[in-house]
Chain A
Amino acid sequence: MSNIPSELRYATSHEWVRNEGNGIVTVGITEHAQDLLGDMVFVELPDVGDNVSTGDDVAVAESVKAASDIYAPVTGEVVEVNEDLEDSPELVNSDAFGDGWLFKLKIEDEGELQSLLDAEGYANSIDED
């Protein structure tokens, strides 16, 4: 079973969300997702300043095996992207919940985080895959 940190929230489409406070959240893909995709070769990120809505395809994780859309787990404005992924997409594989983060959002409605899965809910959702 892959690692699923209990302090994060999750989307069924395998994104994780960390609440950094002050309306800022960090978004990445889970260890389970990177394991399914295999070695990452390109990550296409949104632009800082983009306004994204829950469910929009905002990024692409391309591995040796497949290209996979990444969806905005919540609504907000992109305030930062992980530029290290340009040269080191493998960070998504080696540290999915840390250095392999994708982008940060300034969210409009913190209540939206409550509608995401907790660790247990996400663990159950990938069991059903």
Chain B
Amino acid sequence: MTNKTVLHAKHIEAGAKMVDFYGWDMPINYGSQIEEHHAVRTDAGMFDVSHMTIVDVKGADAQAFLRRLVINDVAKLDVAGKALYTGMCNLEGGVIDDLIVYFFTDTDYRLVVNSATREKDLAWIAEQSAAFDVTVTERPEFAMIAVQGPQAKAKVATLLNEQQTAAVDGMKPFFSAQAGDLFIATTGYTGENGYEIALPAEQAADLWQQLLDAGVKPCGLGARDTLRLEAGMNLYGLDMDESVSPLAANMAWTISWEPEDRNFNGREALAAQRAAGDQPKLVGLILEEKGVLRSGLKVISEDGEGIITSGTFSPTLGHSIAMARVPRSVKLGSTVEVEMRKKLVKVQVIKPSFVRNGKKVF
């Protein structure tokens, strides 16, 4: 049984090429994923992300529960609407999923987790929450549209009423606000400014059409992948999974080690890995000659072998980029080799971040 988002008919109407994405029939592109990519870097594009899973966590123990569940510390959140990117680990320190936590009050939070991991996430959250006084509620009645790009906010602004305009006025990155029926967050997966908007499913097609009429280009999963990779953002299932430590997935910055007495899931295992210093690391690779680095290709360095976790052609840069997991001793700025189509090509190692706000960042 294939799931369809409430915007499915709009995708078909726009001539989308549909693919199966973990059980969801989703648009891969509406003609050219490269044109869609450029629209987001230079103007405004939108993505149907209604397949993602929204989970509300409420109750007296909501803060205490999330301080156990995720590797970042939600106690750091003290301004209503603030968002936090982090990971949810198992007791062995493997990444069950990455997610965004939105803070409203110490008893009221919203999580947005991946759709591909929905079932195991919900099962894990349910199991872990049993000892806490919280209610965990999935919100499938919401659709979600991400509007991203340098002109995204301006184009959305033309559609907002007075109350909604006031709610988003001056909103900094990684914040959110409930504005009437719209839950509007300044988060995204592209490295550009913009919003992710959750709203009642029955209103989604109208908002999508209004955004189209405002000149926002529909973009599929193809462009979403090249944009997130240029931005150096991980994709769960490729760049990390349950067999991978956040220390090996460029997610160490999402772990809050202080205070020392916060016993988050996986802490013991992660602290031991950190002390040993032997986890591999996730780096960026750039290939300036012809060819495209692809997931699964072997990386060869003087310090040992690694593997490309995600690779693509970067439409913004005009050459291939990748993320790769390599031995920790491989230095940024060094040159390593990738085995590609029966030959070895030289690639440069950089921090895994390539493009932000339309500009090259390395």
Contacts and interface: CB of A to CB of B under 8 A. Distances in A.
Interface of A: 38-39, 41-42, 44, 60, 62, 64-67, 90, 93
B76 interface: no
B34 A39 contact: yes
Given A39-B32, A93-B32, A64 B226 contact: yes
A64 B290 contact: no
Per DSSP, are chain B's interface residues mostly helix, strand or loop, or mixed? mixed
Given A62-B313, A67-B341, 4 more contacts: A38-B29, A41-B292, A60-B341, A65-B222
B33 interface: yes
Contacts of A62: 290-292, 313
B312 interface: yes
Interface string B19-32: 00000000011001
A42 B291 contact: yes
A64 B291 contact: no
A39 B34 CA distance: 7
A64 B313 contact: yes
A41 B34 CA distance: 9
By CB atoms of chain A within 10 A, which of B226, B292, B312 has the most?
Answer: B292
Contacts of B291: 42, 62, 67
A45 to B, nearest CB: 11
B341 A64 contact: no
Contacts of B34: 39, 41, 64, 90
Interface in B263-297: 290-292, 294
Interface string B288-321: 0011101000000000000000001100000000
Contacts of B33: 38-39, 64
Which of A39, A42, A44 has its CB near the most chain B CB atoms (within 10 A)? A39
